[in-house]
Structures are given as structure tokens and as C-alpha cells.
Structure 1
Amino acid sequence: MTYDIAALRSLFPALAAGTVHFDGPGGTQTPQPVIDAIADALARPLSNRGQYSLGERNAEAVVIEARQAVADLLGADPAGIVFGRSATQLTYDLARTLAASWAPGDEIVVTRLDHDANIRPWVQAADRVGAAVRWAEFDPATGELTADDIRAVLSGRTRLVAVTAASNLIGTRPPVAEICRLAHEAGALAHVDGVHYTAHTLVDLPALGADFFVCSPYKFLGPHHGVLAARPALLDTLRPDKLLPSSDAVPERFELGTLPYELLAGTRAAVDFLAGLDPEATGTRRERLAASFAALEAHEVALRGRLDKHLASLPGVTLHSRAADRTPTLLLTFERHDARDAYRFLAARDIHAPAGHFYAVEASRHLGLGDSGGLRIGLAPYNDSGDVDRLVTALAAFLDT
């Protein structure tokens, strides 16, 4: 298992500007092969999908290749891969579709740990039909959301459980497979927000047991759009609003309008890039992804350990990322300083570590941080020890102000 960080960094044009990026949870920088794939798709003849003209065939090939690449990344069936503008849009569309079968007396479970994109669509859909919303709480002292926390709010009336696979605010990775099992035992569906999780962990959709799983390629080195993965047979039972002449096939039934072909080409390239993080890996793309994510995780765990050690030596710093199983994402607050001031101080020194609640507003409030949140440090595949040292030095200087 190898991880050549210097070679990897050379493939990201944005890094040449000199800024250190710790904003991976909000969106990663883009490697040259992904940029090239997007440009190449636009440079070829391209039109609506079909089988006769070259432009039609090119568009069809882009879609087929992108579905297969994402399926390989998630351990899913390519016939169950739905593309959309964003994970938020896809979740809203799904919530409206599922809510058509809900009624007063039904219950929907959401968690305080989640990004609002996996809370508000379900809360609003439930409100429209008179269904009840039950909240699963997490422990603010540890950041842990347990299966017992979910079990406590399940009942025979539960229709859906919405849970994150990893918190974009504090990195907590709940026991999703166990939570999905509990949802199914209660007769409910499980919708998993994997936007932050997919950037750090190789997804195994069958092992997780999620009925629906959303992610965003721009969080794992790809372009800006969203993905929903589900079993094709399950998707076939759903009847979303759609245009009369548009395809009723699955997954096209859920894809409103013309797909962004160039972005799908970039997503396929991003998956291939991830599969090459361990240059010694061989086998199928899924097998190479497994080896590469193992190398990536080892790299990120080492960097997080270095960061944790240095942060522990800084006075007046509180780390809110404490779960035993978590991504390399750290939320900080300061005893005598505002996190937003730290954000501005670092930005002036070309270090991008933003502050806020990052749309995980329920989690921020539950942690006692209100809507201000904290300073978030999120590692990405291209971060190295020099980035970490530069950040810690700058934070030490900030705390002296």
C-alpha cells in the first residue's frame, strides 16, 4: 500500500496558488484529469442522448460510464444510480415522492446530528401531510449518535429514518448498518446522507443496508452535482412528478431535464482518480478503490493524529470532534476568541479553514454553539504534513493576538 502525496499534489492546479485548503467538507479542489475529462466531453460532438448521430452516442456513453463508475464507488447497481443538481435537490424530490403515501399518524425520524439537507426536506414533507416528526438526539459531550438513540424514537408507525453516515460538522460516523437494520425491523425505509462519508470511506451500500443513499461528487474531487443510489426495484415502486414525454424507465424517471453530460464525464474521471490513489493497486475498479481508500484512510489518520497532538498544546482551544469513529474533520472553538476572527486571520495568511455551522444548524445548536458554530478543519486527499504545520503555527499566532 503506497500513498505518494507529492505526486498527488502535483495533479491539482489550484494548489499552485499557494493556499492551504482545509475546506474539503465543503468541497474539494479538482485534479487535472477531472478537468480534462470535462473539457474533453465539451470538445466532442455532444447532443441529447440517442443512438444515431455521433453527438447522441457520445452523450449516451458518458451517462452509461458515469453510472457504472459511481456504482463501483458505492457498491451499487448502476441501474439504481440517479443524477441530479445536488444531494439537497435529490432529497427534496424523494421526500415529496415518498410523502404522497404518508398520512396523519405516520412518523418520520430525523437526527440532531445531520446536515439540514437530511432534516428539513423530511420535516417539511411530514408537515404537509400531517405526519409526526421524531428527533433522535446525540450526546453533545462525546458527539456520539448510537443505535439506542434511534431505537428510542422508533415505533410501529415509523415510515422513514433519515440519518447521516458522517457528520459534516464534527465528523462523527454513527453505526449506520445497525441503524438501517433497526429501521427495517420497524417496517421503515432508511435514507442515508453519505455526502461527507463518501469522501473518506469506501461505501458498501449492501453492507450499510440503506434504502436510499445520497452523495455529492464535488466532495470527492469531482464536479458539482448530486447522486442518489437505491435498488432499481425499489425505485420502480415510486412515481415522482415528471414531464409526460420524458422517460418512465428507472433511473431516468427521477432525472428531470437534460443531464449535465460534461459533469458526469468529470465524475467518472474522479472515481478513476480515486481508484489510482494507491498506484500499486490492481484488479477491478472496485478492488482498486478498496486499496486506494485503505491508503487514503491511513494517510488521513496520520495527519489527524499530528493535528490532534498540536492542537492539544494550544491554550484555550476546545475540540468538539470527539467520537470514537470519525472522519478527519475537526470543529474548534476558542476560549477568548471568536471562531470567525480565526477564519479571517487564517484567510489573510492563505489558509482556508472556514467558520460557521455549515448547514448542520441543529448539531451546532445541540453542541451549545448556537448558529455561530466553530472553526472547521477538514482534511482532503491532497493535504500533507506541511499544511498541518502551517495551520498550527498560524493558529498559535492568532491565539497570541
Structure 2
Amino acid sequence: MVLGRRTFDVEAVREEFPALGRRYNGRRVAYLDGPGGSQVVRGAIEAVAGYMTRGGANLHGAFVTSRETEEIIAGARAASAAFLGAEPDEVAFGHNMTTLTLAISRALSKGWDGNTEVVVTEIDHRANVDPWTLAAADRGTSVRWIPVDAETLTLDLTNLDELVNERTKLVAVNLASNAVGTVNDVARISERAREVGAVVAVDAVHAAAHIPIDRDALGADVLTCSAYKFFGPHVGVTAIRRDLFETLAPYKLAPGPSHAPDKLETGTQNHEGLAGVEAAISFVSSLGGGTTLREGIVSGMEAVEAYEAELAASARARLREMPGVTLYASPDGVRKTPTIALRLEGRSPLEVCEHMSERGIFVAGGDFYATTLAGKLGLDGSGGFVRAGLAPYNTAEEVDAFLDALEELAVP
């Protein structure tokens, strides 16, 4: 596929993912379950194994393996900062996005009370809802919801100025829906939040694998993602605006560091995983060009987005013509990730997924923790969606195989 002056070489990309060689039921596997976790790039696998093979160690030792571990953490911090548009001393790591958000919510909520409010959205994954609503309940803080338009699958910002007001302490919103792929207008929401002095917490878990991210351009104060969604191992990453991070007082052990970003990193970190994080981000940068890591990342993600968008657009066009299919997607012209959510008349999501699995096509079913959205669409209690998510290693042939298999079930 030609992207401007560059060619996106999907076969070269596929060579970097060993898992793509797997076969199931005599067929080459098509991994269309990327929204639940991407496959891991070879460089990240080798970095994880290399760290463990050479010998790992904890920090602050006078010996070489300890110093090497500290260098790995510093490298992962610098790479993650470049990936998210932040500075290295604003980046902290944890088990995953959910764990980090729970810890951050407990720290931020110390100043909340019954006269304050937090705002969450109806389109978000529960990981960017429940940590804030649970903290609010503990403090007697009120919760407001930005509604989702069930027809357009976009956030309804008509009453944004009322929802985000002088009592608002925090607004939580995802950059892109992990269920239906809608990319939200975070910058507009952040602009309103700044007017009233509210903190903005952005869940970028789903978006990170598909679009370039610039924390400051989005207006985020806290931006969190997980490397296992963008070709790396299971490590959570957060980038917190420095002035906020310096005042943050997370729960930690008494001997632990009191300075950012270390004060958020309780316990021993996943050192081998952090080696894989830097390698995964280097892979993303290799897909682009430029003279800096950040330039490579941005142009690489732009190439990924363009390639995936073309595949997804053709798939959605065919699905709209397929009998019995209900496609859950925002209108043409609304920016989306290549995440395709649907229902097939007369078949449960589980039946569709099992049918696909027999053919070596891996898709997922459920509400994917976007429970409020599923409820608004009348899908709670009925299995949720069938979700097929594309990645830069997926091909047009794999998408066609998925659609052909779906048509087998759709025939009356």
C-alpha cells in the first residue's frame, strides 16, 4: 500500500511478529483480537529474553547487572516520553493502566469533598470510570456523566459547559473507544476543563496502537496506556504533567522515594518488561522517518493509521451490505480506530467467535468493559458485540477471510 511517498510494507511488518507463524486447525492464524492485546514484536521478545539471560538485578547495587537495570528503566522512560509527547521525568510505570489509575485516583481524591464533582463518560472502558467514581464515593463527591449519542456513537458535548463547571475537580475521558473505535474530541473537553481548573485524565490504552499521541496537544494532565496493546509486554505507562506530579501524594511505603516519577512506582518494577517497552517503541519508530525518536514515532504511527484506516473502511463498507449485520460505527468523517463492532441477527457473539475460531480467525465477543455503552445500545445481558480489531500486521486477505466466514453465518 502506498502512503504518500512512502510504501507501507505489511509483509515486512509481519516478519517482525513471530506469533503470526502459528497455525490452528491447519490454517494460518489471523489475529483480529488486537484491541484485547496485540501480538509482540520480535525486538521486544528478544529484549525481554536478553535481560533475563544476561542476569537481572534490583536497583542501587554496586554491580553491573544493577546498573544495567537502572539504564533499562531510564531507556524505557525516555522512549515512553517520546511515544506520548512528554518528558522522561513525567513518566511512571506500573502493572497496567487499571492499577496505575486506581493509585492515581486515590492520590488525587485526597482534596475532594461533598462540594466537588468529577466527570466521566458513557463511552469509556470501566478502567477510566470506576477508579474515579469509587474515589468520589469515598469522599462524598458527586459524579456527572458525559452522555454518548447512541446513533452516532460519539460523545454528546452539547451541555459540556454545564457538566464541567466550577465544582469539577477531574474529568476522565478515553482518547478512543475500545469497543467501537470512536476517537473522542479530547482537546475540546480539556479546553473546558482548563477553564474551571479541573484535572484531565485520559485513557489512551486503545488509541496508543493506532494513532500518534501528543499529551500536551490533547490537554491531558494524566495520560495512561499499556504496552501490551502496542506490540510490547504487559507494562502500564502513565505520563503526568510535571507540576501535578510534584504535588501528587500517592500511597507508598515509608522508605520509598518521595520524588516524581519514582514515588508512584511502588515495589519492584517489571524490569524485563521495561526492556521490551523500549524495543516496542523503537519498532514503531522504524516504521517512520525523521532525525529524532519522536519524529520516527509520529510518522510511523501516521503510516499505521493510514494503512489500518483503509482496511477498516473497506471492511465496514462490505458489512453494511451484508444481510443480518448491525454495524456499530460512528459516521464516515468521524475519526476512528480500525476496531469493528457488530452483531449478527440470529447468532450470539459467542457463536460467531466460535465459528471464526474454527477457521483460525481470532475475534472476540463481549462488552469489553464498556458496560455503560453496551447498556445504552441495548446489548447488556445479550453477549455484547463481536469485535474485530485490525493491527499493522493484518492483511486485506485476512479481513476478506473474516468477512467471508461471517457471510457463511449470515446466509438465511
* Same fold at TM > 0.5: yes
Indicate conservation of the 8 Å contact 2:176/2:207, yes or no.
yes
* Alignment partner of 1:50 is 2:60: yes
One-letter identity of the residue aligned with 2:208:
T
* Alignment partner of 1:41 is 2:46: no
Indicate conservation of the 8 Å contact 1:162/1:191, yes or no.
yes
One-letter identity of the residue aligned with 1:102:
W
State the 1:138 CA deviation.
0.9
Indicate conservation of the 8 Å contact 1:146/1:174, yes or no.
no
Q: Secondary structure at the match of 2:312?
A: helix
Q: Which residue of 2 aligns with 1:183?
A: 193
Question: Aligned partners of 2:143, 2:406: CA distance in 1, in Å?
Answer: 41
Structure 2 unaligned regions, length at least 5: 1-5, 23-27
Indicate conservation of the 8 Å contact 1:45/1:58, yes or no.
no
Moved more, 374-383 or 333-342: 333-342
Q: Which residue of 2 aligns with 1:9?
A: 14
* Alignment partner of 1:163 is 2:163: no
Q: Which residue of 1 aligns with 2:224?
A: 214
State the 1:287 CA deviation.
0.8
Q: Secondary structure at the match of 1:229?
A: strand
Question: Aligned partners of 2:410, 2:268: CA distance in 1, in Å?
Answer: 51
Q: What is the aligned-residue RMSD (CA, Å)?
A: 1.2
Indicate conservation of the 8 Å contact 2:146/2:156, yes or no.
no
Question: Aligned partners of 1:141, 1:119: CA distance in 2, in Å?
Answer: 22
* Alignment partner of 1:388 is 2:388: no
Indicate conservation of the 8 Å contact 1:143/1:321, yes or no.
yes
Indicate conservation of the 8 Å contact 1:87/1:216, yes or no.
yes
Q: Secondary structure at the match of 2:138?
A: helix
Q: Deviations over 1:79-125 (max 9, x none)?
A: 01010001000111111111111111210101110000011111111
* Alignment partner of 1:295 is 2:303: yes
Question: Aligned partners of 1:305, 1:98: CA distance in 2, in Å?
Answer: 40
C-alpha distance 252-363 of structure 1, shift in aligned 2 (>3 A): same
Q: Deviations over 1:37-95 (max 9, x none)?
A: 10111112321122621011111000000000000101101101010001000111111
Question: Aligned partners of 2:290, 2:195: CA distance in 1, in Å?
Answer: 39
Indicate conservation of the 8 Å contact 1:340/1:374, yes or no.
no
1:247 to 257, 261, 284: 257
Q: Which residue of 1 aligns with 2:25?
A: none
Question: Aligned partners of 1:289, 1:312: CA distance in 2, in Å?
Answer: 34
One-letter identity of the residue aligned with 1:293:
M
Q: Which residue of 1 aligns with 2:83?
A: 73
Moved more, 84-93 or 285-294: 285-294
Indicate conservation of the 8 Å contact 2:343/2:385, yes or no.
yes
Q: Which residue of 1 aligns with 2:408?
A: 397
One-letter identity of the residue aligned with 1:393:
D
C-alpha distance 26-46 of structure 1, shift in aligned 2 (>3 A): same
Q: Which residue of 2 aligns with 1:29?
A: 39
Q: Secondary structure at the match of 2:98?
A: helix
* Alignment partner of 1:115 is 2:125: yes
Q: Deviations over 1:281-318 (max 9, x none)?
A: 23111111122112111111110122112212210101
Q: Which residue of 1 aligns with 2:184?
A: 174
State the 1:149 CA deviation.
4.7
Indicate conservation of the 8 Å contact 2:200/2:220, yes or no.
yes
One-letter identity of the residue aligned with 2:271:
Y
List aligned pairs for 1:247-396, cutoff 5 A.
247-278=257-288, 281-323=289-331, 324-371=334-381, 372-396=383-407
Q: Which residue of 2 aligns with 1:89?
A: 99
Question: Aligned partners of 2:411, 2:326: CA distance in 1, in Å?
Answer: 16
Indicate conservation of the 8 Å contact 2:235/2:277, yes or no.
no
Indicate conservation of the 8 Å contact 2:201/2:221, yes or no.
yes
Indicate conservation of the 8 Å contact 1:50/1:59, yes or no.
no
One-letter identity of the residue aligned with 2:117:
E
List aligned pairs for 1:199-238, cutoff 5 A.
199-238=209-248
Q: Under a length normalisation based on structure 1, what TM-score does the superposition of the two structures give?
A: 0.97
One-letter identity of the residue aligned with 1:264:
L
Indicate conservation of the 8 Å contact 1:25/1:219, yes or no.
yes
Structure 1 unaligned regions, length at least 5: none
State the 1:152 CA deviation.
3.6
Question: Aligned partners of 1:222, 1:151: CA distance in 2, in Å?
Answer: 39
* Alignment partner of 1:198 is 2:203: no
Q: Deviations over 1:251-286 (max 9, x none)?
A: 0000010111100000000000011124xx231111
Question: Aligned partners of 2:10, 2:180: CA distance in 1, in Å?
Answer: 25
Runs of 4+ in 1 over 6 A off after TM superposition: none
Q: Deviations over 1:2-21 (max 9, x none)?
A: 21101111221111112111
Question: Aligned partners of 2:204, 2:159: CA distance in 1, in Å?
Answer: 19
Count of residue correspondences: 399
Question: Aligned partners of 2:313, 2:395: CA distance in 1, in Å?
Answer: 12
Indicate conservation of the 8 Å contact 1:143/1:172, yes or no.
yes
Question: Aligned partners of 2:113, 2:234: CA distance in 1, in Å?
Answer: 35
State the 1:184 CA deviation.
1.3
Question: Aligned partners of 1:328, 1:122: CA distance in 2, in Å?
Answer: 28
State the 1:151 CA deviation.
2.9
Q: Under a length normalisation based on structure 2, what TM-score does the superposition of the two structures give?
A: 0.95
